[in-house]
Structure 1
């Protein structure tokens, strides 16, 4: 593709050299540059691509997009100066792969909690309607039926657009994707044309990256600010920042709520560990999901499907047959009658919601035993908050490792324990080995009790001292169940 065509959609400050050159590939990693590459020098959190411009040229790059020109210019290389290389990367990647988001209906889901469930259920729902569909999520990406391993919540712009292009090639009509705050801030989604955006909720998370909650909120809000007039913006009125997200959007504003008047309304009629009976826009529907937070997720799915033109009654019929996402309030029944719940809850608000749902169902008649930890090299401020939420809504709590990464597990656990008073600490156990912590919780559980194993959900690994080890909460629970028989 001609360089002149690739750069049509980016903001250019200055061009040095000819744009009438044929580009063989687009790269932002200098190590991948080859003969005929366009190298885009982006500034990351750990490295600055501008330091590797000469390396990319040595390897054959014939054009460079950058925010700062090198001191020494190569006469055989074209330089494109822009004010945002990250934005340019997204725009160029979209163009390079044939602008795939314009050839299908793309819907993005953003928020602290609920993104994976909402995006995955939309993918399931539209396939039930007979539409070939794609999914970009934390758990797994799908190109219709074909799974593609997910490495990030939102992939880098080249991988993202390549996946969308493959969806178009395979005949997908719809694509549903999680949109993380990192991807918005780093402009990974630049250039994409969204048909709609969904806001789930926002609570404290990723403060290690964004530094302040206000910056985190603004990152989420920018997604809606950038939506076109032709799109819809569907927001959760139960979140105090729900309408804040839509303040400056040009998209059509729509709402959902479990508590107040909204375009899409829902409330729980009956609930147990097998599912719920709901009223959704005054129509009764039974679903195999649990918890008010899942009512919100289902309302987002319901509202989105209706806004995309699906008949309301048909959507509600299909909702009853959708399946919960792996590791999201996933219930496992033991041979002696207690229930283990594996959930991805890794923020204070998510843990509060899950424990609130469990307590609503057991209604004080059984014990709630919680196993929980916090990730290493992440926001330390939420650690004591997580501990307080666990203790305030559980009969017994076992603190354990999550993904300690490069930190010492006991340092993380001590940060959590710092949120408790002496009396609260005496009512807890600290077992750094996660497998032993889970087994201990199961041994403590009696018939009717509930063991919540929080934090990792679908993940099948632990990162310890930079090394990724296989570890799956559900495997540990099932192995314990086998040992009981």
Structure 2
């Protein structure tokens, strides 16, 4: 058990009813998980308000409640702690409960619309190759050095983050690389963490269903940099117009990277092909297996971070040349009948455009590009026609299909994508709701040397419809279908 008073250290209390001189077992923000002598934190969420579950939490055994508004009826022997922001209070309490594990290692947060998973994952792999014990908190997985744990959120809740950071601390982990999503930052899941540095990759159209405006989305990302301590570093992409915005108010040491602009760290693309690309960084040539200019930015961000964290530059270049691509990020397979299938997580307009531009740069001109793409249900609807426009204008043939429809009818999502198709491109477009059938049709349409792009799901190995998840792996499915068709 932990002292409630110690857990509340650093939490700004606006009112207190009852004593803080008591012990609690756990911190909970889900009333269904509350047990005897737990402290319940009432969170106002997008779907429900935890304040409506305070009585249920107390009935389940909670002996303390943290909330933004004290209930009218107070129960004797229960301590009520009023705060301005329950989400921030939860994060600070979580850090205290696990004895502030982020102080025991060097934690680096990576934020931006695209590139977060690639940058964090490859930093993890690079530092592992360099001989360190390393942690990773990403969209795909959580790693405590060698041990892997599954994850369902880009940035987990504050309790989960601190629990894994605590495991990392106990395991002797020296560095941890963590994706910091706009949702996670806005919901204060990263509050209470001590960052050694933060990286900004880029910013484009995404999550406006949650943030309402692009400015709100940008400012959520910016908060990560605003809250960095003086001894941390802040690294931003100068080729993105929002790079300087991220650095505006940070107290941290400021550094920049770029391919086109003047910056502290610069790179030049010398060659680009399906087998990889040749970069020039700090007057040294580097061959990397990662393809495309977007990956050149990722590699440069990784190189800069390694340098800022004290790794030898030449050792870093050597290790970078050995790194493989991340699952679902421009992951490709060339079939025996010479059809190239590419699976990429591109689920934003900018990411889709980047991938199609990369494919265009790698083509000899004779190949057709067949794109299979959908948009997620219950997510930002405004990007759907934009995605439809990009796919149809930059491909020879397009099949609009389901991604994760969730609670929305797939036909409605596809219709909204079709609204972005210009008349001169309409004959290129097919609509096939069933994603596996869409992939099979693309494979049937493709000839030797043609390129199939499966966009949107990337590393995801499931499809979600009306609350049900079924196994669905784009990469496995396209490989199987191509194998079947060659027989």
User: Taking structure 1 as the reference length, what is the TM-score of the superposition?
Assistant: 0.99
Aligned pair 1:343/2:325, yes or no?
no
Quick one: distance in 2 between partners of 1:376 and 1:303?
37
SS of residue matched to 2:245: coil
Instruction: Map 1:37-48 onto structure 2 (within 5 A).
Output: 37-48=38-49
1:363, 1:195 → 2: CA distance? 45
| Structure 2 counterpart of 1:299 | 300
Aligned to 2:263: 262
What is the distance in 1 between the residues matched to 2:365 and 2:102? Answer: 50
Matches within 5 A, 1:20-39: 20-39=21-40
**Counterparts of residues 211-226 of structure 1 (less than 5 Å):** 211-226=212-227
Secondary structure in structure 2 of the residue aligned to 1:13: strand
**In 2: Cα distance, 1:464 partner to 1:39 partner:** 32
SS in 2 for 1:429: strand
Which range is displaced more, 341-350 or 26-35?
A: 26-35
Distance in 2 between the 1:3 and 1:376 partners? 41
1:85-113: per-residue Cα shift (whole Å, max 9, x none)?
10000000001011110001000000000
> Which is worse superposed, 130-139 or 14-23?
14-23
SS of 1:244's partner is helix
Asked if the contact 2:389–2:422 (Cα under 8 Å) also holds between the matched residues in 1, the reply is no
Deviation at 1:250, TM superposition (A): 0.6
- 1:100 is matched with which residue? 101
Cα displacement string for residues 207-227 of structure 1 (whole angstroms, at most 9, x for unaligned residues): 111111111011011111111
Structure 2: distance between partners of 1:148 and 1:450: 34
Question: Deviation digits for residues 285-339 of structure 1, max 9, x if unmatched?
Answer: 1010100000000111000000000011110110000111000000101111121
5+ residue gaps, structure 1: none
Compute the RMSD of aligned alpha carbons: 0.9
The corresponding residue for 1:416 is 417
Pairwise mapping of residues 238-257 of structure 1 onto structure 2 (< 5 A)? 238-257=239-258
Equivalent position of 1:79 in the other structure: 80
Aligned residue in 1 for 2:429 = 428
Between the aligned partners of 2:229 and 2:300, the Cα distance in structure 1 is: 23
In 1, the alpha carbon distance for the partners of 2:327 and 2:73 equals 53
- Asked if 1 retains the 8 angstrom alpha-carbon contact of 2:276 and 2:287, the reply is yes
CA distance in 1, matches of 2:317, 2:422: 47
> Do residues 332 (structure 1) and 333 (structure 2) align?
yes
Partner of 1:131: 132
- SS at structure 2 position matched to 1:245: helix
> Secondary structure of the residue that 1:243 maps to in structure 2?
helix
- In the other structure, the counterpart of 2:229 is 228
2:473 is matched with: 472
Contact 2:393 / 2:425 at 8 angstroms: preserved in 1?
Answer: no
Q: Match of 1:448?
A: 449
Q: Find the aligned partners of 2:399 and 2:181 in 1 and give their Cα distance.
A: 30
Q: C-alpha distance in 2, partners of 1:454/1:307?
A: 34
Distance in structure 2 (CA, Å) of the matches to 1:3 and 1:457: 43
Q: In structure 2, what is the Cα distance between the partners aligned to 1:265 and 1:423?
A: 40
Provide the rounded CA distance (Å) in 1 between the counterparts of 2:26 and 2:408.
39
Stretches of 4+ aligned residues off by more than 2 angstroms:
none
Distance in 2 between the 1:333 and 1:245 partners? 40
After TM superposition, give the deviation of residue 363 of structure 1 in Å: 4.2
* Alpha-carbon distance in 2 for matches of 1:258, 1:367: 29
Q: Distance in 2 between matches of 1:161 and 1:347?
A: 30
Match of 1:10 in 2: 11
| C-alpha displacement of 1:151 | 1.1
1-structure distance, mates of 2:141, 2:129: 19
| Paired residue secondary structure (2:199) | strand
Residues 1:181 and 2:182 are matched in the alignment: yes
Q: Distance in 2 between matches of 1:73 and 1:406?
A: 39
| Corresponding residue for residue 384 of structure 1 | 385
Provide the secondary structure at the position in 1 that maps to 2:71: coil
1:348-388 Cα deviation digits (max 9, x unpaired): 00000000000001042311111111111111110110011
**Distance (Å, rounded) in 1 between the aligned partners of 2:295 and 2:206:** 20
Aligned to 2:164: 163
Query: Separation in 2 of the partners of 1:268 and 1:480?
Result: 35
Number of positions where the alignment pairs a residue of Structure 1 with one of Structure 2: 485
Match of 1:68 in 2: 69
Give deviations 1:165-194, integer Å, cap 9, x for gaps: 111111111110000000111001110000
Q: Distance in 2 between matches of 1:80 and 1:408?
A: 44
Q: Give the match for residue 204 of structure 1.
A: 205
For residues 226-262 of structure 1, the C-alpha deviation after alignment (integer angstroms, 9 at most, x for no partner) is: 1111110000011111111111111111000011221
Match for residue 116 of structure 2?
115
Aligned to 1:49: 50
Q: Counterpart in 1 of 2:361?
A: 360
Distance 1:237 1:365 in 2: 35
Instruction: Give the structure 2 partner of residue 273 of structure 1.
Output: 274
1:423 Cα deviation from its structure 2 partner: 3.0
Mapped partners of 2:399, 2:303: distance in 1: 37
Distance 2:381 2:426 in 1: 19
Q: TM-score, normalised by structure 2?
A: 0.98
